Structures are given as C-alpha cells and as structure tokens.
Homo-oligomer: A and B are copies of this chain.
Amino acid sequence: MRLQKATRCALYAILELASDPKRQLSANEIAEKYDISTNHLAKVLRSLGREGLVEAVRGAGGGYRFSGNAKRTTLLDVIRLFETVETVSAGEREPGDETAEGLALTQVTMEIEAIERATFNSITLDTMLKLVGRYRK
C-alpha cells in the first residue's frame, strides 16, 4: 500500500478543505501546513478541481474551497485519480500469465486488490475527518 506522494498530497488537501467547506485556502497555505511543494500541490489541486471535488477561485485573494459531498466521497474516489487501482483489468498481460501458476497468482493478487478497494471505498471523507480529529487534540 505504497501511495504516491501526489496521492497523499491530494488527500491532505481535500481533508483540509473538507474540514470546513466555507473556508478558502490558497495552494501555498496548504502546502506550508503539510510541508510539501506548492507547485506539486497545485497540479494535484487542478485534478481535484476537474473532478469537481474542489472549486478554484482565481486572481488575488483566490484559493480553493471544498465543493464535494464529504459523506458521499470516499478515499477511493480521490485515490483513483492518482493511482492505478485496477492492475489486471487494465489489460496488462505479463509473460507467464497464461500458465496455471500465473493464473493462480493473479487470482490471489486480484483478491487482495479487491480488499484494498473495498476498504478505501468504505471510508468517506466525513469518517476520515472524525478519525483525524482523534489525532488532533
């Protein structure tokens, strides 16, 4: 479960924004809080914007605001945007895939992948924020 940095950035940003949908933050403010590259984060935020999860306000005093549904959006919804979640169905064939051993192995990894997806999909931003709260204090 090695998430890409971009994915972590995205999750940080969206959790931060979703924690108070009225608040508007610039990419810089978010980047500073989590000690990540502003440029990199900006790219990530654009992806989130395209999906309608955040809303961007351009110009002076601009920034980003959460514009999704925290109770409906799951971690998987966010992770999907940056990570290849389905290895196999993606038409990726490897040598040895058609041997009995290859098929058996693929079955096992597919089952694990399914669990991963199910887990991430069971956690909404809302429940995640509650978990975050427990670490705050």
Main secondary structure of the interface of A (DSSP, over half): helix
Q: Is A36's beta carbon under 8 Å from chain B?
A: yes
Interface size on A, residues (CB 8 A): 45
- Partner of A2 from B87, B100, B101, B134 at Cβ < 8 Å: B87
Bound CA span A102–B33, Å: 11
Q: Considering the complex, give the chain B residue whose CB is closest to the CB of A131.
A: B104
Q: Decide if B87 touches A12 in the complex (CB within 8 Å).
A: no
Q: How far is the CB of A45 from chain B (nearest CB, A)?
A: 15
Do A35 and B96 contact each other (CB < 8 Å), given the known contacts A2-B87, A109-B1? Answer: yes
In the complex, given contacts A108-B120, A108-B123, what are 5 additional A-B residue pairs having Cβ atoms less than 8 angstroms apart? A8-B96, A11-B101, A34-B99, A101-B132, A112-B116
